[in-house]
Amino acid sequence: MDEDFIKSEEEDFLNKPDADAVLQKSCLNIDLNNGTIKEQKYGKSSVLLETSSKMVVDKQGLIHSGNLFSSAAYCALLAVNNPNGIVIGAEVKFLAPIELGNEVLFRGETLQEDTKKREVKVEGFVLDIKIFDAMFYIAVFDKHVLSLHITKEMEKKMG
C-alpha cells in the first residue's frame, strides 16, 4: 500500500509542469532548422542548434554564421515571448568557427523587461566553450508590426 502511494507521488512529481515555465507565444511557425527549444521560462530561454549539411559553406564543413545568428535571434525572441516582438538590432561577436557536427546551445536572458524596447543577452556554447556572445534589441508593439500599416502612412506623408 505504501509503495503505491510513493509511486503515485513520484509520478505526479515527474508530470508536474515547471512552475517557471511559460506558454510559448512567439515564433510559433518558425522553421525547425533554427533550433529546438530546450527551456523557456519567464525572461529566459535556451535553444539547441544541431548543425546540418545545409548550413555548410565549404568543403571543410564550416557552418555559415548566419545560421548561428538566426538561432540566437530565435532564442532572444523566445526569452521576450511576445507575439508582437521583433529584432531591431544586435551587437554580435562570433568567438569561434563552428563545423558540421557541432551542436550549439544558445542561452538567452532578458536584461530589461519593462519597456517597449527589450535587451536580451544571448550566449552560445559548444560543450562548455563559449563561441557566441550577443546583445539583441527587441521592440515590442501593441499590435503586430505588419498590421501597423507603416508604409501606407509614410506614402500619405510623402504624397
**pLDDT at residue number 114:** 73
Phi, psi of 44 (to 5 degrees): -140, 155
Provide the residue type at 37 as one letter. Answer: I
Report residue 38 as a C-alpha cell. 530546450
What predicted TM-score, i.e. pTM, was given to this entire model? 0.78
How confident is the model over 137-151, as pLDDT tens digits? 999 988 877 776 666
**pLDDT at residue number 14:** 44
pLDDT above 70 coverage of the chain, percent: 76
Q: Which of the listed CATH numbers 3.30.360.30, 3.10.129.10, 1.10.1200.10, 2.40.10.10 matches domain 20-158? A: 3.10.129.10
Tell which residue, 110, 107, 138, 136, has the closest CA to residue 123.
107
CB 139 within 8 A of CB 86: yes
Supply the mean pLDDT for the chain. 84
CB 108 within 8 A of CB 46: yes
Cα 137–Cα 79–Cα 150 angle in degrees, nearest 5: 45
For residues 79 and 108, what is the distance between their CA atoms, to the nearest angstrom? 6
- Residue at grid coordinates 536584461: 111
Give the helix/strand (H/E) hosting 124.
strand 117-126
Q: What are the sequence ranges of the domains in the chain?
A: 20-158
**pLDDT at residue number 142:** 82
For residues 136 and 85, what is the distance between their CA atoms, to the nearest angstrom? 12
The beta strands (E) that lie in the chain are given as 36-41, 44-50, 85-94, 103-112, 117-126, 129-140
